[in-house]
Chain A
Amino acid sequence: MKWLLHLLEAFRPLFEADGKLKSLKPLFMATDRFFFSSPAATRGAPHVRDPLDVKRFMSMVIIGLLPCLLCSLYFFGLRVLAMIAVSYAVGGAIEVMFAIIRKEEINEGFLVTGLIFPLILPPTTPLWMVAAGIAFGVVVGKELFGGTGRNLFNPALVGRCFLLLSYPAAMSKSWIMPGSGLWGRLTQYVKIAEVDAISCATPLAMAKEGDPAPLWNLFTGHVSGSVGETSALAVILGGMFLVATRVANWRTVVAVLGSYIVLGGLLHALFPEMFGPVIWHVMAGSLLFGAVFMATDPVTSPATDGAKWAFGILIGVMTLMIRNIGGYAEGVMFAILMGNIFAPILDEVVIRRRLRRLNLER
């Protein structure tokens, strides 16, 4: 790969301080550092460093999302690829733009946001809505707060929330039947015009009308739902990978699911008409996907262990309430956004207690 390195070196002067394209330096640096690791050396103690960097960290999340991505291609077809392409193009362009204005590096975080966002949308969401959603999510959910690492809300969820509130009608009729058979919809590109013929309400919406999908279908993912979250199996596989690599914190995942199962089980036993069966509910909708991929976002979840438990429990309980008592069929998105609001204060409480103890030890 020497030729590529030479090519990059040949173009480098253009982007340096006195080059013609110096304003595009973040873009050049991102390309350069994507292909070749940084040549930087440590300047002081410790003189050696761990090989983990943010690129690797974010790559782990992408790998964790792969099972969901593959399932979504099978169930909902090639349209998914178009949605991802739009999301990456628009989200990436905004990220680059802000990096150039701020004269900062381009952050790898958008690689995750850009992939998660299409996976939490209905499968036939118009592409212009994908673009509008990711643009709103990245600008309002992330860049206005100062970029990755400083955002309060999960940008992908901000984008989805924006779409749901702005285009409720379009969003609610974008659900379709998943593909089946050997190839599923792998070779199809579902057009918007066909949607009416194959549209299909989500299991949670149907359960509200007394027609729940079989548990096995929820497990394999052969149900209607958002692009990447229908298959519980795929989410569990990805989640196990993320927890094993410790990219996702197990406390958050256990707290979200555990609180839902315990409280949901209790309420189901007491008021079976009002609260649905727990295991079915855990597999349905985006609870698993949200618990594994969205609630564990290290930036928008609390930093301390104690607060992570409280954060997870808050999300689990909120989801339970919205799904079973509120007017919406699904509540994970609102629950996690609500959790994001509480994350800093939960951290503050835990940190104060810890520091008080630490200062007693002095």
Chain B
Amino acid sequence: MVRLNTEENHITLENVIKEKEESHRADEESAQIPAGTGTKGATRGKLLALGAWQFFYDAHTGSVPDPFGSPRAVIVSSISLEPFLARGDVQIAKRLSSFVRGLSHLQSLLEYQPIHLVVPHMDSPLATRVREAVRGHAWVKLVELPMRHGLEDFSVIARSLGYKQQDESPVWALNVAGVLAVDRTLTMSKPATVRIISIGGPSVKSPCHLKAIPGYPIKKILSDRLSDGPARIINGGVMKGETMDGWLGLDCECEGLTVVPESADREFLGFMKLGGDRQSYSKCFASSVGAGFAERLTTALRGEQRACIACNHCEEVCPSGLMPQLIHKYLYNDELEEAEWAGTDMCSGCGLCSYVCPSKIELRAEIQAAKNRIEHELHPEEVSE
């Protein structure tokens, strides 16, 4: 038995011998499914076997939830605001009937728990169509969420709906692609291994959506699609994605590839320019009084690293309500327990704090690293479990 597996963006063949040793356990597990959980369990087993379970997330931790556990609620989000990635509402609009069928399949997995369907605008034409379609499905509750990057993270949605992490049972979360995968596996009994990914970014000549399977070589996908010049390939969006080596295969969880030009241009007296051509969160450029426009993004850091000047921009933009500059201060002094108290583990990794920081402090990277350290150094007993 040979299986594709992911490890830090690499596609590897799983250790076959080890797989054989543990194969008896898989048998035991599959034997337990129908016995313990009835038809619901069988349906979940099917999701698992056909690969749709990879689309399910634990809303608070972002990990894959226990397929045979009982969730408190399910969140289905149609919002994905990373630039250049496929937007959920576009996906719904194209395949509304499959989407609604997927929702009823989801319901069949549950007892009485609610499904929260998150839409951008309650009165938009799409939301109206969705509401029409789910009429009669009393268990689907529509929730409106403003279109602001960061707010669409599952942990932030779960908290805004009043689901705390400390409670026993998890909250499941899926995006539109997940619901469509559920529909595909349960209606047609076909494997959900094909993913619809977006190819976008300033370096892409003709942005598009593609159907692709994990492991497909990225070089092949991107050949002929890129404009000239050095560029960075990102697995995911520009805010949260990881840099990817173009020689690798497509990642299992890939939602899209974003290609951003690398720029080493040095501007003469750049900080003195009026800045009508610069889009900024701050109001320090002439562009803030003019009309909107789209700036060409590059990977430039656009400044030098400095000590924190307490401008508070990071706190203003944080969708989780944290104070990134405070966590930075605690971590700078190596006060890990204070950093935990300040909510490091609640960071959704949206990257907005690093984006706006005028001192170019790598807040997102620092906080993500601290999250890991807190788990391993402050709560080693939970990790070993």
Contact = CB atoms under 8 A, between A and B. Distances in A.
B242 A45 contact: yes
A52 B303 CA distance: 8
Contact of B280 (A51, A107, A108): A51
B154 to A, nearest CB: 15
A45 B272 contact: no
Nearest to A107: B306
Interface in B3-43: none
Contacts of B355: 46, 48-50
A45 B364 contact: yes
A359 B165 CA distance: 11
A40 B300 contact: yes
B283 interface: yes
A44 interface: yes
Contacts of B325: 303
A247 B281 CA distance: 12
B270 interface: yes
Contact of B238 (A39, A48, A304): A48
B317 to A, nearest CB: 10
A47 B266 CA distance: 18
B309 interface: yes
B275 interface: yes
Given A51-B280, A52-B356, A298-B311, A44 B362 contact: yes
A46 B240 contact: yes
Interface in B297-339: 297-312, 315, 321-323, 325-326
Interface string A82-96: 000000000000000
Interface string A43-67: 1111111111111110110000000
A20 interface: no
B351 A45 contact: yes
Interface string A19-54: 000000000000001111111111111111111111
B360 interface: yes
A149 B306 contact: yes
Interface string A161-201: 00000000000000000000000000000000000000000
A46 B240 CA distance: 6
A107 B305 CA distance: 10
Interface residues of A: mostly helix, strand, loop or mixed? Answer: loop
Contacts, number: 209
A49 B300 contact: yes
Interface residues of B, number: 74
A208 interface: no
A303 B310 contact: yes
B307 A52 contact: no
B284 A247 contact: yes
Interface in B263-295: 263-272, 275, 278-285, 288
A114 interface: no
Nearest to A361: B159
Contacts of B346: 358, 362
A19 to B, nearest CB: 20
Contacts of B147: none
Indicate the member of B238, B302, B354 with the most A CB atoms within 10 Å: B302
Contacts of A5: 266, 268
Contacts of B322: 358
A59 B298 contact: no
A37 B278 CA distance: 14
A359 B242 contact: no
A57 B298 CA distance: 21
A52 B284 contact: yes
Contacts of B302: 37-38, 49-51, 53
B341 A52 contact: no
A354 interface: yes
A51 B279 contact: yes
The 5 closest A-B pairs by CB, nearest first: A53-B303, A149-B307, A46-B351, A36-B266, A37-B270
Nearest to B352: A46
A247 B309 CA distance: 11
Contact of B268 (A36, A107, A301): A36
Interface string B232-246: 101000111111000
Contacts of A36: 266-268, 270
Nearest to A300: B310
29 contacts: A35-B268, A36-B266, A36-B267, A36-B268, A38-B302, A41-B262, A41-B300, A43-B362, A45-B349, A46-B239, A49-B302, A49-B357, A50-B357, A51-B303, A52-B282, A53-B358, A54-B309, A54-B358, A56-B271, A56-B303, A57-B284, A147-B307, A245-B283, A246-B283, A249-B312, A303-B310, A303-B315, A304-B323, A359-B341
